[in-house]
Structure formats: structure tokens, C-alpha cells
Amino acid sequence: MATLRPLTVEDVLRVNGSRRFAAALAAASPFDSLADALLAARRIWLNEVDVTGWLEAFAAHPSIGTTSSSVSKWSKEEQSAALSTATDSTAQELSEWNAKYREKFGFVFMICASGRTAPEVLAELKRRYANRPIVELEAAAEEELKISELRLTKLFSAETAAPPTSGSSNRTRPPITTHVLDTALGSPAAGIEVHLEMWKDVSSTPAFDNKEFKGWTTLGTSVTNNDGRSGQLMDIVDNVAPGFYRISFNTSKYAPSGFFPYVSIIFEIKRSQTTEHFHVPLLHSPFSFTTYRGS
């Protein structure tokens, strides 16, 4: 799972806007595994980057709720839950509190917004506004590190993805794949049982107001290896069937004292996407998890 090439400063600046961080992480690459890259990132961010570097990284982020066309793809993905759940009044309140926060602390409100709704982000902003500046600076730095770890995982996935076969649509791997990363330890999560299912009930579709969930058919099961990657969960086919899929992870055995007994992620493959690849990873800790569509 090593990176295909050493990272450049430009690569890392997509992950974190601090040039000192980018130069140091690029110099430490290539890495033998994602876990090594994450450990190096944490060490560099906390031990080698000073406050000036922290502020430089913060400045690379838009305010939560910003919809400008200049916002990066990753920022849009990370804020998608907040943007989709923001009412006009919530959006206005977020804007006002963002301005109050910047006036008090001198930098943009930093939060790893992936999967968080607008009300959740607003509540956290109000709570942290009461912090003393030194406390809030450290809190913001921790959130920046979470974002950097999430983006580094995306960068690593892109680097290690199999290249397309020239002149052919034949696949070398199943159209749906996954891996699990333990974000609390910064390492792959081995030994997690994974199930992939497809919705087969033609009379209805899985929806928020349809809680019966009796229409699922198992396509395959596996257990994550030492790199956190599952084995083959379905056949290797050129065109995956369109429809709804559910990928589930038995996290209770991996983290018995954690909050989540299992994690299930439901997603839809549309008819226009049947030749595409869908990598659906789980970034898990005992008390939180996130996911995204990778390549």
C-alpha cells in the first residue's frame, strides 16, 4: 500500500495549507502505509509546525457555510452535510457567529465538519466561542489535524488506486471496495467483518421513512486484512447493477467498549454510473465515524 511516488509540496498543500508542514511531510515520503503517513503527519503538525504555521493552515479554509465557486472540492465534500441541512435562518446565524469568532480570535472557525449538520456546527461554534484564546488555538489545531488526516487518507487512496486499462473497460477489481482506518490509533483496522448487500425489493426503495429493511440480499462478506482492506465482496464485472447498496461493518468486536455496535452505510449507484468504481471506506474511532466516496 506504499505511495506510488514521493509526495510533492503541492500534493500536501491540498491536505494542509501550512508550507512548513507540506515541506516536512513531502520530505518524509514515500510511506510504506497510510498508517505511517498519518503518524508522520501528526508528529510534524504537533512538534515541528509553530503557531505561524498553524495560522497559515487555518487561513486556507473557507468559513463554514461558504458557497463560493473558489471553495475546493474537498472543502465542499466536508461541508456537504452542513450545507444541506442549513435553513435560511441557520445559514444567517452561522455567518454572524463566524464573523464574531474571527473578530475575537483572529482566524476562521476550524472544525472537522464531515458528517456534521448545520445545527451541530453552530452549537459547537457557540460553545467554543467562550474559550480563552490559547485554549481555542489548541482546539483549532486539533480540528485542523483531523481534517488533514481525512484528506491524507483521500490522497493516499487516489495515489494507490489501480490505473485504468487503456482502451478497455475490463476491471481488475470488483466495482465496490472498502477499507477501514482506525482514526483513534492512526492505523488500519484489521479483523473487522464486512458485509455487502443489495436492495432487491422492486416494490419499494430504502428510505428514511421506510424502516423495515427487509429487502436486502447479501452479495458477499469478508474480513479486513492488516492493511484494513476487505477481500472481494462481489464479482468482478464490467457493469455493476444500478440500485441501492448497503455496506456494514461489525465494529463491536473490534472496539467492544465503543459507542457503535455496528456501522451501516447505504448508497445508490445510478444507471449513468454503472462503469464507475465505488470505494466506500470507513474512518472509525470508538465514538465517531466518517465515510466518503473514494476512487
For this structure, is 195 an active site residue?
no
Cis peptide, bond prior to residue 30, ω within 30 of zero: yes
Q: CA-CA distance, 209 to 225, in Å (whole number)?
A: 36
124 touches 115 (CB < 8 A): no
115 touches 260 (CB < 8 A): no
The response to whether 229 counts as a known ligand-binding position is yes
Shortest CA distance to 37 belongs to which of 188, 162, 176? Answer: 188
SS3 per-residue string spanning the chain: CCCCCCCCHHHHHCCCCCHHHHHHHHHHCCCCCHHHHHHHHHHHHHHCCCHHHHHHHHHCCCCCCCCCCCCCHHHHHHCHHHHHCCCHHHHHHHHHHHHHHHHHHCCCCCCCCCCCCHHHHHHHHHHHHCCCHHHHHHHHHHHHHHHHHHHHHHHHHHHHCCCCCCCCCCCCCCCEECEEEECCCCEECCCCEEEEEEECCCCCCCECCECCCCCEEEEEEEECCCCCECCCCCCCCCCCCCEEEEEEECHHHHCCCCCCCCEEEEEEECHHHCCCCEECCEEEECCEEEECCEC
Cα 136 to chain centroid, rounded: 24
Catalytic residue among 61, 195, 277, 284: 61
**Residues comprising the chain, all counted:** 295
Binding site: residue ranges? Answer: 179, 229, 292
Active site residues: 61
Give the residue ranges of the annotated binding site for substrate. Answer: 179, 229, 292
